[in-house]
Structure 1
Amino acid sequence: MLTTTTTGAKAISPDTITQLIVLPVQRASVAMQVSTIIPTSSTRTHVPRVTADPSVSWVAEGDEIGASDPTVDDIVLEPAKIAGLTVITNELAADTSPAASGIIGDGLTRDFAKKIDLAFFGTKGASLVQPAGLEDLVGFSAVVKPAAWADFDPFAEAIANAEGLGLDLTGFVASPADVLLLSKLKESTSSKRGLLTPDPTNPTRRLIFGVPLITSLAVATGTVWGIPNIRSVIVRRNDVDLQTDKSAYFTSDRTAIRATMRVSWGFTQPAAIQKIKAATV
Structure 2
Amino acid sequence: MTWLTNTRPNDGGAVAPPQHPDYFFEHLYAQSVGLRSGFRQVRTNRAQIEIPRLLADGTANWTTEGSEIATSDPTADVLTAIPQKLAALSYQSNELVSDSNPSSQDMVAESLARAISLKLDLGFFEGSGTAPEITGLKNQPGIQTLDMGTDGAAISNLDPFADALGMLSGVNAEPGAIVMHPRTWRAITKLKETGTSNKPLITDGSGSPTERMSRAIYGVPVLLTSQISTTETHGTSTDATSVYVYEPSQVVAVMREGAQIDVDTSTAFSSDRTAVRVTMRADMVLPNPEAVVRIAGVVPA
Residue 149 (str. 1) matches residue 168 (str. 2): no
SS at match of 1:185: coil
SS at match of 1:172: strand
Question: Please, which runs of 5 or more residues in structure 2 have no aligned partner?
Answer: 1-11, 206-211, 231-240
SS at match of 1:240: strand
User: What amino acid does structure 2 have at the position aligned with 1:273?
Assistant: V
SS at match of 1:110: helix
In structure 2, how many angstroms separate the alpha carbons of the residues matched to 1:176 and 1:150? 16
Residue 244 (str. 1) matches residue 263 (str. 2): yes
Do the aligned partners of 1:9 and 1:243 also contact (CA within 8 Å) in 2?
Answer: no
Q: Could you tell me which residue of structure 1 aligns to residue 20 of structure 2? A: 16
Report the Cα offset of residue 43 of structure 1. Answer: 1.2
Report the Cα offset of residue 40 of structure 1. Answer: 1.3
In structure 1, how many angstroms separate the alpha carbons of the residues matched to 2:90 and 2:154? 42
Q: Identify which of 59, 65, 70 aligns with 2:69.
A: 65
User: What amino acid does structure 1 have at the position aligned with 2:202?
Assistant: L
1:114-153 to structure 2, matched below 5 A, reads 114-124=118-128, 127-145=130-148, 147-153=153-159
Q: Are residues 204 and 8 of structure 1, via their aligned partners in 2, closer, same or farther at CA, if it must alter by over 3 Å? A: farther
Q: Normalization by structure 2: what TM-score?
A: 0.82
Q: Could you tell me which residue of structure 1 aligns to residue 184 of structure 2? A: 178
In structure 2, how many angstroms separate the alpha carbons of the residues matched to 1:88 and 1:161? 50
Report the Cα offset of residue 198 of structure 1. Answer: 4.1
Moved more, 231-240 or 72-81: 231-240
Q: Could you tell me which residue of structure 2 aligns to residue 40 of structure 1? A: 44
Q: Are residues 198 and 247 of structure 1, via their aligned partners in 2, closer, same or farther at CA, if it must alter by over 3 Å? A: farther
Q: Could you tell me which residue of structure 2 aligns to residue 52 of structure 1? A: 56
1:215-254 to structure 2, matched below 5 A, reads 215-221=224-230, 222-254=241-273
User: What amino acid does structure 2 have at the position aligned with 1:219?
Assistant: I
Q: Identify which of 189, 196, 206 aligns with 2:215.
A: 206
Question: Please, which runs of 5 or more residues in structure 1 have no aligned partner?
Answer: 1-6
1:159-170 to structure 2, matched below 5 A, reads 159-170=165-176
User: What amino acid does structure 2 have at the position aligned with 1:262?
Assistant: R
SS at match of 1:238: strand
- Pairs aligned (count): 268
1:61-116 superposed Cα distances (whole Å, 9 cap, x missing partner):
45443342211101100100111110111232234622111100010000001111
Report the Cα offset of residue 230 of structure 1. Answer: 1.6
In structure 2, how many angstroms separate the alpha carbons of the residues matched to 1:12 and 1:57? 60
In structure 1, how many angstroms separate the alpha carbons of the residues matched to 2:68 and 2:104? 70
Report the Cα offset of residue 124 of structure 1. Answer: 2.0
Q: Could you tell me which residue of structure 1 aligns to residue 94 of structure 2? A: 90
State the superposition RMSD in angstroms: 2.3
SS at match of 1:138: coil
In structure 2, how many angstroms separate the alpha carbons of the residues matched to 1:184 and 1:204? 11
Residue 273 (str. 1) matches residue 278 (str. 2): no
In structure 2, how many angstroms separate the alpha carbons of the residues matched to 1:112 and 1:249? 22
In structure 2, how many angstroms separate the alpha carbons of the residues matched to 1:235 and 1:122? 17
1:130-169 superposed Cα distances (whole Å, 9 cap, x missing partner):
1112222222211133612111111011111111111111
SS at match of 2:249: helix
% same residue: 31
In structure 2, how many angstroms separate the alpha carbons of the residues matched to 1:255 and 1:279? 45
Q: Are residues 46 and 205 of structure 1, via their aligned partners in 2, closer, same or farther at CA, if it must alter by over 3 Å? A: farther
In structure 1, how many angstroms separate the alpha carbons of the residues matched to 2:46 and 2:204? 41
Do the aligned partners of 1:47 and 1:74 also contact (CA within 8 Å) in 2?
Answer: yes
Do the aligned partners of 2:21 and 2:258 also contact (CA within 8 Å) in 1?
Answer: no
Do the aligned partners of 1:235 and 1:263 also contact (CA within 8 Å) in 2?
Answer: yes
Q: Normalization by structure 1: what TM-score?
A: 0.87
In structure 2, how many angstroms separate the alpha carbons of the residues matched to 1:279 and 1:84? 32
Q: Are residues 279 and 106 of structure 1, via their aligned partners in 2, closer, same or farther at CA, if it must alter by over 3 Å? A: closer
Do the aligned partners of 2:53 and 2:79 also contact (CA within 8 Å) in 1?
Answer: yes
Q: Could you tell me which residue of structure 2 aligns to residue 31 of structure 1? A: 34
Report the Cα offset of residue 205 of structure 1. Answer: 5.4
